Amino acid sequence: MPAVLHRFPVDVVFKKNGLGLIESHHEEGFFMEGRRDPFPKILLIIGGEGVLHHADGTAALRAPGVAVIPAGWWHRLEDEPGRPMSLYGICLRKPGFPGGDLIGNACGRWRVETNSGRCRRISDLMKELLVEERLDAPGAADLQLAIVCRILVELARAGADDAASIPDSRARVAACIEAMSREFWKARDIAEAAQVAGLSRRRFTQLFREVAGESWQMRLTRIRMEHAAQLLTSTRLPIRSVAFECGYADLSHFYRVFKSWHQRTPAAMRK
């Protein structure tokens, strides 16, 4: 069944939990007057392209992309001729939505996301959110709130680890190094890390060693092993849990790396 096309903006229907979802596939000639909504909006562009007019100027919108529109912020969408946009939106209304300060941290300023990794993650979360909306299974409302909070965290952390948006290559790598201290548990290889930094693998490898004084793999292992030692000596977590929290799905691999790094087994370190 073809999508229903909209010539004007769709109305937002909020649930009791303060969450409102919109789906809008623009008709050729779509028209939107300038408006100020009393709630923030997160727009995911999945097709077409256009322009976001706002109080400070204009910003290009194209798929795949994410735009954040704060509450009370004047804005207007305009499609590119022949390229009408299709988009999904998340609208949040307090006090129903329990996000608290997270909403302000994520949606307190307007912006169009340019980080491809972040846009991809938000797109995946939006798909999960929509599946829960369609299925309406037990617990769906609570799961939707959790998914939206994850999207808000992605947006709230934008900037601190948005390496690809930094012009200088060395600064991008430095941002990646700083982010590793928080994201060492991720199952990410060096090729993906280079992609996040917007660099070729060869260039990323070279600059990483220059900036960090060691290889990407060595830095990752160092952070993981230091965290593992801290957990082993300050908690009673099972060793399997320590391995999991440090990013190792294979327990035997964790044992080998740990013993090679610390010259003792995890059990011996704990004693």
Angstrom CA distances, 190 to 193, 195, 229, stand at 5, 9, 24
Residues 251 and 141 both lie in one domain: no
pLDDT at 172: 81
Query: Does one domain contain both 95 and 172?
Result: no
Residue 165 has φ and ψ, to the nearest 5°, of -90, -5
* Amino acid 167: pLDDT: 55
Other CB atoms within 10 Å distance of the CB of residue 72: 10
For residue 192, the one-letter residue type is E
One domain for residues 191 and 233: no
19/15 Cα distance (integer angstroms): 6
The C-alpha atoms of residue 220 and residue 257 are separated, in whole angstroms, by 12
164-203 CB burial, b ≥16 within 10 A, e <16 = bebeebeebbbbbbebbeebbeeebeeeebbbbbbbebee
Question: What is the span of the domain harbouring residue 73?
Answer: 5-156
How many domains are there within the chain? Answer: 3
pLDDT at position 100: 67
Confidence at residue 73, expressed as pLDDT on a 0 to 100 scale: 93
Residues of the chain predicted below pLDDT 70: 1-3, 96, 99-100, 159-167
- What pLDDT is attached to residue 1? 41
pTM: 0.65
Amino acid found at 76: R
pLDDT digits (tens, 9 = 90+) for 150-176: 999 989 877 544 544 555 788 888 888
Per-residue confidence (pLDDT) for residue 26, from 0 to 100: 93
Q: Same domain for 137 and 226?
A: no
Chain CA centroid to CA 256, Å: 33
User: Going by C-beta distance under 8 Å and a sequence separation of 6 or more, which residues neighbour residue 61?
Assistant: 43, 45, 49, 50, 51, 52, 67, 77, 85, 112
| Of the candidates 80, 111, 96, the residue with the CA atom closest to the CA atom of residue 15 | 96
Question: What CATH number does the domain containing 234 carry?
Answer: 1.10.10.60
204 and 111 within one domain: no
Q: Do both 9 and 120 map to the same domain?
A: yes
Residue 179 CA to chain centroid, in angstroms? 13
Beta-sheet pairing, 19-26 with 5-6:
parallel
* Euclidean distance between CA atoms 170 and 212, whole angstroms: 10
> Same domain, yes or no, for 131 and 244?
no
Structure tokens at 18: 């303060």
Please give the pLDDT value at position 164.
Answer: 47
Do residues 55 and 128 share a domain?
Answer: yes
Per-residue model confidence (pLDDT) at position 159? 54
209 & 222 share domain: no
